[in-house]
Structure 1
Amino acid sequence: MSLALLGSGAAALPEPASAAVPSSVRGEISAQTPTLSGTLCVGRTLTAKPGNWLPSERTLSYQWLRNGRGIQDATGRDYTLATADLNTKISVRVRGDLEGSDSVERTSLEQHVAPCAIVPTRALVIAGAAKHGHKLRADSKWPAGVVTTYAWYRSGKAISKATKPWYKPTIKDIGRTITVKVTATKSGYTTYKTTAKAVKISKGSFRVMSAPKVSGTKKATHTLKASRGSYSPKPTSYSYQWYANGKKIKGATKSSYRLSGSQIGKRVGVKVTAKKAGYSSYAMESSAYKVGKAVFKLKTRPKISGTKKVGHTLKASKGTYSPRPTSYSYQWYRNGSPIKGATKSTYKVKLADEEYDITVKVKAKRTNYTSNYSISSRVYIPYDYSSDWEDDDDYGFSGGYSGYNGPRCYAPGGRTYTPC
């Protein structure tokens, strides 16, 4: 009798050929030789096929044999092969009993139980990103009870202590091929070895946690500072390049940059490049900001000096600023209203200024700076009674010569006057 081989490498018992039904007479049992059905593999179940036994009133019992000796408690029509059956010969003895007749026994041919092959239920592959810093995993699936061991290889050579189902490539692996060999074992089965398709390891890549940012006053003469942003893993070094309207600013390669007048009106930002051994450098740009003119810092306000009387000259100090302006302009005010033509650093007090407050606004100027206006404290121009003179009491007027605009006559205590 020949055995057919299954795809798993296990031997399968052939179906028994049909045989003529034996004749029998009353009181006698006629029997056929039993056969086995199933796969000769540890853990698989064999079934006894007794064939045709006559008469139909007979009863059948079974005893499974290992190397011709009965197996304890193996008395059913089915028998599951155990580890002890490996490399032995298995058969089954069938006994027929009929009242009033002698018992009849028939034994099947012995079948050799050889180790069966292990077949993975999912083929072995390497899962995960083939990059430095990322974890690779030996991905496969096996039948129940299979024990697997692992060995990782770099360019065909075993990697020391790399015997787990996963492996994390190092800098040494960059540009080289990595594979894994899996050995599968199970009692009663032949050892199964398989190797995954190799993968080539490239440099690792950063994962951006937050983008770089620019802090500081976005105005000429002020210094901007770049934050690095954050990455995973943490870089070991950074490089910087500042840009104005998308073009590199020559020499601006530090984490800070002092804005100049040439950047006014332009949008300035920075590109930060993160670096680490074994990782591809990663460059990321910050938001860009429009640069405005610088602003003076006022240190002291302008002041008005001089005699506060009609005909006398008042003088405005410039005030002090940081940085120092390169030019100034002036505007004098009477009770908050600009005095026409009064645009110099000095102002001669007029008759119309009496009993009013005088102030001066100084405008500081410098290239690349927003002009700064600063207003002095108020000075009061009092009425000058020293030049008054008495007129006829009948009219109730007083008057005098001011020496500035000819004689005039005032109502007592008032500001209204008429020519005298």
Structure 2
Amino acid sequence: MRKTTSYNAIFAMVIALTFFSVNSLSAQVLNKPVAADNPNLAGNSAWTAACASDTFNEYFVNFTWNPPLVDSDNEFVLELSDANGNFGAPTELARVDDKNTTFDFEFEFAVPNDVRGENYRMRVRSTSPAKTSPPSDPYPMHYVDYSSALLISEDGSGDIPSGGTITLCGGGDITLEPHNIPNANTYIYNWYRSGTLLPEKGHSITVSTPGMYYVELDYGSICTGSANTLSNTIELSTGTSSGIAINGSDDFGLCIGDTHQLEANISGLGLTYTWFKDGAIVAGPTLEQNTLNINTASAGFEGTYEVEVDGPSACVERSASVTIRNLGDFEVTRVNDANIVLLPSQTATLTATTNALTPSYQWYKDGSPITDATNATLDITEIGDYFVRVTENGGGCASSPVDSETTAVEAPDSFEFVVEYVGSYTSCQTSDVTLSLLRINAVSGSGARTNVTSVLESSFSYQWTHDGSTISGETSKTITINDFEDNGDYALTGVVDSFNASSNSLEVTMAAGTNLTVSSTGLVLCEGADPIVLSSSESLTDETFEWVKDGSVIDTSSETITATEVGDFQLRILTDDCPIVSNTITVQAFDESLLSIDQPDELIIVEGETGTVTASGAESYQWFDAENNLLGSLDSYGFQTEGEYLLVASFGNCTVNRVITITYRDLFAIPNVITANGDGINDLWVLPNTYSRQDDVLVTIYDDRGKEVFSQTNYENNWPQSVTQFNKLNMIFYYRITQDGKSLKQGTITVIR
């Protein structure tokens, strides 16, 4: 309380506090709720833990209170704390309005499906008068929404190993997790190794220690067992590496009919062998089968071979691969294009490659051998069909010659260009565009087209045309257009030797550079206000245009329009190739919510300092004091004096009035002593307005044993609500004041009686 408060005000406050204290001595007393038995279950007793599910969710608590009677419109509300017993944001469980003359009754409630914890508390709140009971004792409460046996596997893959055993090799680790529960990461788990509870609580566990692993959902100390979620068991064991390999060379060749056997370097240890060719199983798994015969009489025996071993106390291990080649089988690959266009006086080179060990070459033209053409490459100057025949001269295997694919060398009848836009292009939207040569096709007499771009693009000379006319200086394969006055059709022509080529035509249409702006006399429709008129920055005389509202044309003849409805307005001029589109004017209906201020309507400031309030959303502002004196006309004002102020915000002829109350912050210290003796003086623990009556500030009081005795947001300076709880002299209590979970103040309160 400020020192400037008059003695009359102090006397009035003392009288008010005395009246409140005297009445509170005879006020209703709400007792803490306690668990009760379920009358719908025979032989039932009061529950000690709530293990609810979709098949059973019916619980009762007993509540008693003492007269005098509550008001006729009163309701009793049963509330639930969070899992830690905190009532900062309680959950309503039940509400009754027909127990206002019943001093001992029971609430029926269902456990919410997001409740999981061991320390939930309940309390009862009356609405008229507003009072709150002490909290109940803590109870374990869990909504068991999953109650089937879990299934665990490595990485949650769903692959449970035969016998439930996984052998760990190489000193690594594995991750186990359940694979049959939806949203697995939203639960808490109990993981076990050989009967010992492990500290991990997540949905997966990474382990390397041998043992028997299993898991269950953690529904607390009582509800876990009733959920029956205990999983299968995975036994983790450790094995040793065998160092498996295939004897002999890792790359060799065989001829058809040769005999050969692959042999693993380990045998006689009771191991199981599986043989692979090109990654697929070809033999096994077979016990002690450490050899594999290669059937060279079978086509396709060549490839890569591996062997994999497994066995008791041994790691599953696969060898490095061995490559076997067919010495009588080789390939010939054509390197050049399948079709080549050859101009007069030009030379082209044909090339082939082979994997034959000792090849010889013979080139053919139109089916006949070419004299002295016995190399891997051939230079040609004539049209025709060419291929090369390769013979294997080494390797000790009989084989037939192999021919390459044929290359068709043709003389062109004509050429054509294909041009396209470079990058994205949208008519009437793109501000500049580049056109480029994409492909050169050689066209035969039959109309067949062959792509010869890579061969001939550097041989052509080029010229771009615009609407059929030559463009001076544009003689490259690309052209860029960036002026709407150059809109039109573009094409590319070219010359090589005696051939002339021309391209397809591309249309270029870009918007004019005119900046069209629409202005308005207002943006908010308001009853009784001047009309909102929209006008253009450009003259519309001799122009074809249209006014558009929300995408629909509303006028095509008026140079200005009047907005009589809310919506988005634009102007389009249609005279040029592309329409010129204006900015958008958005007209809104008048609504007081258009005005925003950055401070609450009731602002607390420190005396001597300035509290600034800033408004937004309106066209103009006026700030007035309680005597209607104009203080300012900016969008913000700095307040230094207590009182009520008026903000008048204008939207055209529409106005919004907002009353702002300025109060000085209480600077007195938080009291640490009260005298709850009923004399009306210092009977209540009164906090400064920084902490009291604030929706986001939680006030909690504990007794000397740490038990919570009071918890309330929007604290109304109303503790203690009864003096009957003070059963000895000079009792010590502890308080904590928090905001959004962050501690603001804490200390002690001594209650003197």
TM-score bin, normalised by smaller chain: under 0.3
Q: Which has the higher contact order (CA 8 A, sep 6+)?
A: 1
TM-score (structure 2 length as normaliser) = 0.18
Give TM-score scaled by structure 1 length. 0.28
